[in-house]
Structure 1
Amino acid sequence: MQSFDLTPPDTTQRAALIAGLSEEERHVLLQHGTEAPFCGAFLDNKLEGVYTCRLCGLPLFASSAKFDSGTGWPSFFKPIDPAHVRTIRDTSYGMIRTEITCARCDSHLGHVFPDGPPPTYERHCLNSVSLAFTEAGAPLPNPLGRGGAEAGLAEAA
């Protein structure tokens, strides 16, 4: 696994990234919202590539780890690198769940559940608006201008 800079965006960078978000993206990424099921842009995406954080561009999940969970949200059995996703105990709405956020910018991605397929038996259930997609062979987004390893991961996905 290539190494990525997980340093959070500074205040100026974060403000610039947030300025480019739609109202729905702000609601989900910044306020821990959830998009409606069965309507996300990446639910039925079958292309090969890499799913990245919509806000900061950090690579999160490879298309090879995507599966149809039947839940209405894009689901993955493992992240590209466990260090790219943080987990947080979520007790909202009278439930106990595990929220997942981007390890670099802390944007809300979705939740992880212990009912996925082998080999991990995890279901990372994500909001499409929390993600961007880069087809295999294309350069990854680099909104923070950090360069380095980020330029080549789409080739390896």
Structure 2
Amino acid sequence: MTTSAVSLRLEPVSSTTLTTTLALAHGLAAAAIVCTPWPYWAQSICLLAILTGAVLGARTFLRENGVKALCMLKDASWRLTLRDGSEWRGTLNGDSLVNPWLCLLILDGAAGRRRVLILRDSLDRNSFRRLRVGLRVHSAPGRAAALAKGR
């Protein structure tokens, strides 16, 4: 694949907003459990569930599902470079979400479906704007108006 076939290349970083939100939500949930009059064994089970949720959330969202780079190709397909060095290809699903604060890319490929969450602070301002514009231009025809309104 030549680099001339790439219309947009992005390399997202970890989002501090998402990290802070996940830590705050799980910390408040743990504090609420500790303040309950439940027996210690019940509190321990709930705290273990909250800790498990925090770990799974960190693995799922904070590592961007293992995506190192995203490339929107000229034919409107996507190529993801994963952290292990492998590549994954797919096309944008019409159910993807685009708004001023985040983009949730739902991509369908031969190996299945992949979701990529990109928050505004994961990219520099110009790259995030280019992503949003690119998604509007290359979106499914029926979704172009909804994407333009941020729905």
Bin of the TM-score, shorter chain as denominator length: under 0.3
Greater RCO (CA < 8 Å, at least 6 residues apart): 1
* Normalised TM-score (structure 2): 0.26
Larger radius of gyration: 2
